Amino acid sequence: MTSTTARLIETEYRLGAHNYKPLDVVLSRGEGVHVWDVDGNRYLDCLSAYSAVNQGHCHPKILAAMVEQAQKLTLTSRAFRNDQLAHFYEEIAALTGSHKVLPMNSGAEAVETAIKAVRKWGYEVKGVERDKAEIIVCDNNFHGRTMGIVGFSTDPDAREGFGPFAPGFRHVPFGDIDAFRAAITENTVAFLIEPIQGEAGVLIPPVGYFAGVRELCTSHGITLILDEIQTGLGRTGRILAEEHEGIEADVTLVGKALSGGFYPVSAVLSNTEVLGVLKPGQHGSTFGGNPLACAIARAALRVLTEEDMIGNSAHMGERFQKGLSEIRSNIVKEVRGRGLMLAVELDPAAGGARKYCEALKERGILAKDTHGDTIRIAPPLVITADQVDWALEQFEAVLRD
């Protein structure tokens, strides 16, 4: 570790809150799938800022859109209209098949917005008794860090010391259709779920699970909310991960890659019925739907499709997963994933995934450990076959050693 790196890490540790435990690398530049540290060392980014930079670091077309808009108009608040918002609505609705759009800033804001809207829908449309609405969520979920969200988390680190929490949530095991069926009551207004549980270790539900969920939601008048903040916008090889399941959600949440990593942008995508319950003054955000955010999001969506990043995600994900599966190592318990959302789960006897991520860093790969024994792998969707093959060589060296 050079003196510059050590000094910056020491300052960060001394002055910053200790709510993260990052790898000891200090990054200063990024382009495409690569990032460079302050000492000039290059790394292949296999996290993509938790899928916020699906389009690659500093994509030139998104950058150009950001600079152009920043020179004209950045913020008006929603007290006035701007010339970017309607175009953003049209383009994201056409891409995703949505009927209504509510733009916000962060993924957590999108989740909180959906919770508010679906409760109001439950009272005004479904006829649930006032303040009795229930939302079913899954064990080991991750939907953000706000007070409302951590209240229905099952992660002790997310919850401990932050109560009391708001009521109105029921938990079921992820992927268990019988448990979901048993949890439904007359007060159930929604089922909030990730298509793939990312933070929990890229957990994929059994075949047919979501078809069953969709059927139950329809028959019981329950709003199906899919949190696609990490899985959406090409990460799994489809524009939305729900396409793998052959279903359509009633409400879909997107964020992260919606801006290509340039700016916080999220959106609640909905049928008309759910978002239609919101009236002026009942929900909003000073920055939500601002012209700079809309211009950036429009460019971020455009390059995803124009440059076939979604197709590349499917093909390179298949190549990456196949290569990982062929690594012969007695510490690898399972390789799983869809598209470029991948995970290698290690045997607990291996001593945890963190040390393997540190070893990968020394070989020019930045990946993230999660839930103790799992390495998450999610490179930008612009990765090439040669770059996948090089990454596989590094993973094989570390996992076999």
Check 227, 250, 369, 373 and give the catalytic one: 227
Q: Is the confidence at residue 350, as pLDDT, over 80?
A: yes
- Give the pLDDT of residue 237: 98
pTM of the model: 0.97
CA quadruple 90, 95, 97, 98: dihedral, nearest 10: -50
Q: Is the confidence at residue 363, as pLDDT, over 90?
A: yes
Q: Is the confidence at residue 343, as pLDDT, over 90?
A: yes
Nearest one of 32, 8, 33 to 22, comparing CA atoms = 8
pLDDT digits (tens, 9 = 90+) for 298-321: 999 999 999 999 999 999 999 999
The proportion of the chain whose per-residue pLDDT surpasses 90, expressed as a percent, equals: 99
Assigned token pair, 314: 């499917």
Q: Are strands 266-270 and 34-37 parallel, antiparallel or unpaired?
A: unpaired
Domains and CATH numbers, the chain: 3-58+308-400 (3.90.1150.10), 73-306 (3.40.640.10)
Task: Name residues whose C-beta falls within 8 Å of residue 62's C-beta, 6 or more positions apart in sequence.
Answer: 55, 259, 260, 262, 296, 299, 300, 303
**pLDDT confidence bin for 114, thresholds 50/70/90:** very high
Mean pLDDT, range 245-261, rounded to an integer: 97
The reply to whether 142 belongs to the active site is yes
Contact 272, 250 (CB under 8 A): no
CB atoms within 10 A of CB 119: 21
**pLDDT confidence bin for 280, thresholds 50/70/90:** very high
Mean pLDDT, range 78-96, rounded to an integer: 97
The proportion of the chain whose per-residue pLDDT surpasses 70, expressed as a percent, equals: 100
CA quadruple 276, 278, 284, 288: dihedral, nearest 10: 0
**pLDDT confidence bin for 1, thresholds 50/70/90:** confident
Q: Is the confidence at residue 366, as pLDDT, over 90?
A: yes
- Mean per-residue pLDDT over the chain, rounded: 97
What type of residue sits at position 280? P
The reply to whether 178 belongs to the active site is no
- Give the pLDDT of residue 297: 98
Strand order, beta sheet including 332-338: 332-338, 341-346, 374-377, 368-370
Mean pLDDT, range 134-138, rounded to an integer: 98
Mean pLDDT, range 3-30, rounded to an integer: 96
- How far apart CA 58 and CA 299 sit, in angstroms, is 12
Mean pLDDT, range 162-187, rounded to an integer: 97
Q: What is the SS3 assignment for 143?
A: coil
Q: Is the peptide bond before 380 cis (omega within 30 degrees of 0)?
A: no
Q: Is the confidence at residue 401, as pLDDT, over 80?
A: no
Q: Are strands 223-227 and 169-172 parallel, antiparallel or unpaired?
A: unpaired
What secondary structure letter does DSSP report for 225?
A: E
The reply to whether 256 belongs to the active site is yes
Check 100, 256, 361, 368 and give the catalytic one: 256
- Whole-Å CA distances, 195 to 34, 74, 317, 335: 28, 34, 17, 18
With tokens 């599966």, the residue in question is 325
Check 142, 191, 262, 395 and give the catalytic one: 142
pLDDT digits (tens, 9 = 90+) for 198-244: 999 999 999 999 999 999 999 999 999 999 999 999 999 999 999 99
